[in-house]
Amino acid sequence: MLQYLNISNLALLEKASIEFDSGFTVVTGETGAGKSVFLGALSLLSGSRLDKSIIRSGSEICEVEAALYFEDSTELDAALKELGLPPCEEGTLLLRRSLHVSKPSKISINGSLSTLANLQALGSRWIDFHGPGEPQRLLKSECQLEMIDLYAQLEDEAAACEKAYDEWKETLRKIDRLRSSTQLSADQIDFLKMQIQRIDALELSKESVEQLETDFNRVSSSQDLLELTSELANGLTGDDGALSVMGQLTRSASQASEMDPSLGELASRLENLILEIQELGAEYEMVGASLNFEPEFAQEVQTRMVEWQELRRKYGREVSDILEARDEMAGKIGSQDDIEGSLKRLNDEADNQEAALKKKAAGLTKKRKKAGEGLARKAEAVLLELGFKKGKCGLQMVRQSDLKRYGDALPELQFSPNVGEPLRPLDKVASSGELARVMLALKTLLADIDEIPVLVFDEVDANVGGEIGRTVGKRLKGIGGSHQVICITHLPQVASLGDTHFTVEKDQSGDRARVSIEKLDADNESRVMELARMLGDRSAESARSHARDLLAENVESSA
């Protein structure tokens, strides 16, 4: 479980140190208050790629660190060993990531410097995000396939099918390459070897090319960009910039509000606009300051870009095209002897692989159909609790014309929200609210099977409310019995069920906006006030009374 999280200079949050408990944690706050800071911090530690613009304005570095405890870290330690990283001490995994305005980011895992790829590999083991867009994924057959395989614990068989498919397709590619090959002269072989060396020297990958293109664009346009950012900074905060004009307008607005107090809110909004202009000007200045490059670095980037563009002209626009061409050239060199005999052996191998793959795919489809039908029946029971009194779920396996990595058929989840209506594919019948509840039903059923310890739900209750919202909260709380659940919510019915409650607030009373995170104790009046705010009016006794009733109900149900 996630034990603590330290955040510094992330977006509008200057500093926060947060201790977590097991079970169901809720995070609340006004719209726009900065609840996404939680998600941003956890995303950084899970290996997500985030732009340096998330660094707090005026700061040089943003840092996020966390400690996670695993009761049994055997499998995790094995994964760490495979990545060349230190094992956990007493079951604790330490993660740290920093983003610097002008320097490369740093990643530390258990005190050892590491890579983003390693952080991503570990992130898939400890955290899973479920956001507002998650229900739309349910419309995709690939997502449904993942759920069924998880529910029936078919991941190993699915991986074996994918591996068999890849091996079969690779054999077919070898056959195509060999059929198109001819005997090569010594000069031709030397030429192919030279091309392979050129490709290998660039160490091509999607990530390395993205970084190269980013560096090249910045180097190439640095002077123009520097002039533009300087113009923008001066236009915003310079002597004759927008800020000076806004100052006079603010004074006028203040005088107007003194004459007419009802204009006070407009004056306050104008003051906030000045703060935004100041921050924008400072950020443009920082961008300009980051555009100075060492000559050696600029030359190396330009040289590598020329080489990359030449390879693209020769072998294809994508990295995969060039790497495939590299493999083809290597294959031509290695297959000069006995081409006909090699073709015979490869064709026999491909036939055997295809036959074995068909058998694997048929068996996997049969198991998936049985498991999917069982999952649909269980989902019906959960949907009854979520307001679908006569809702029905079903599943069909749709045969595909060709073998694929996943097998020979894809699932099609079906749904009927109303009595007397036939089952139809989800994308044909489900509204956004219905889809959200179907997804939630499936997620709660899969939670006990899913071994990922930390589950983050970002406003998955956005399309429900009232009694259904309370049921959703109870479902999420139930998942908290076997996982650590962190839920960002706007529903008081959900928030009141949290074992731990954090609130996020934005303060704009000073010279710049600031976000703070506060833990609310279960018996603290501030939690009652926060729930009353979510109910509509923290100043109303009826709302506060309702909030106390919600908390009392939570205590009674937990007893």
Give the model confidence (pLDDT) of 529-548 as tens digits.
999 998 888 888 888 898 88
Residues paired with 233 in a beta bridge: none
Q: Is the pLDDT of residue 420 over 70?
A: yes
Higher-confidence residue: 386 or 265?
265
Q: How many CB atoms lie within 10 A of CB 403?
A: 18
272 pLDDT above the threshold of 80: yes
First to last CA, the chain: 23
* More confidently predicted of 283 and 559: 283
C-beta separation of 479 from 444 below 8 A: yes
For residue 299, what pLDDT band results from cuts at 50, 70 and 90?
confident
What pLDDT is recorded for position 462?
64
- Those residues whose C-beta lies under 8 Å from the C-beta of residue 182, and which sit 6 or more positions away, are none
- pLDDT score, position 335: 65
Average pLDDT over residues 141-159: 89
Nearest to 10 by CA among 62, 75, 59: 62
Summarize the confidence of residues 112-139 as an average pLDDT: 82
Of 258-262, 297-301, 424-428, 487-491, the poorest mean pLDDT is in: 297-301
Q: Enter the tokens of residue 559.
A: 């007893």
Q: What are the b/e assignments for 200-214, b being 16+ CB within 10 Å?
A: eebebeeeebeebee
Mean pLDDT of the chain: 85
Q: Give the CA count within 13 Å in the CB-facing half-sphere of 307.
A: 18
- Helix 155-179 × helix 319-334 angle, to 10°: 60
Going by pLDDT thresholds of 50, 70 and 90, the confidence category of residue 402 is: very high
Between 205 and 387, the higher pLDDT residue: 205
Q: Please return the burial class of 89, using the count of CB atoms within 10 Å of its CB with bins 0-12, 13-18 and 19+.
A: exposed
| Whole-number Å distance between alpha carbons of 482 and 445 | 12
- pLDDT tops 90 at residue 559: no
pLDDT surpassing 90 at residue 141: no
Please say if the pLDDT value at position 227 is more than 80: no
pTM of the model: 0.61
Of 13-22, 103-112, 118-127, 220-229, minimum mean pLDDT range: 220-229
- Compare 367 and 181 and report the one with higher pLDDT: 367
The predicted pLDDT at position 338 comes to 67
Confidence of residue 430 (pLDDT cuts 50, 70, 90): low
- Residue-range domains of the chain with CATH: 1-132+459-520 (3.40.50.300), 182-334 (no CATH), 523-559 (no CATH)
What confidence tens digit (pLDDT) does each residue in 78-93 have? 999 999 999 999 999 9
Average pLDDT over residues 49-73: 90
Element (DSSP H or E) covering residue 351: helix 339-385
Local confidence band at 181 (pLDDT 50, 70, 90 cut-offs)? low
**Mean pLDDT score, 228-247:** 77
User: What's the whole-number mean pLDDT along residues 51-76?
Assistant: 91
The pLDDT value given to residue 292: 62
Cβ pair 257, 264 in contact under 8 A: yes
SS3 of residue 484 by DSSP: strand
Give the pLDDT of residue 19: 92
Spatial contact of 271 and 246, defined as CB atoms under 8 Å apart: no
* CA distances for 72 relative to 68, 121, 197, 224, 410, angstroms: 12, 18, 46, 55, 36
The set of residues, in sequence order, having a beta carbon less than 8 Å from that of 50 and lying 6+ positions away, is: 40, 43, 44, 99
pLDDT for position 391: 82
* Residue 552 confidence (pLDDT) above 60: yes
Sheet holding 392-404, edge to edge: 392-404, 407-416, 424-425
Between strands 92-100 and 61-69, the pairing is antiparallel
Taking only the tens place, the pLDDT of each residue in 410-419 is 999 888 888 7
- The proportion of the chain whose per-residue pLDDT surpasses 70, expressed as a percent, equals 91
Cα separation, 233 vs 173, whole angstroms = 56
pLDDT at 333 over 70: yes
What is the separation of C-alpha 380 from the centre of its chain, rounded to a whole number of angstroms?
29
The angle at the Cα of 400, spanning 157 to 144, to the nearest 5 degrees, equals 55
Q: How far apart are CA 5 and CA 43, in angstroms?
A: 12
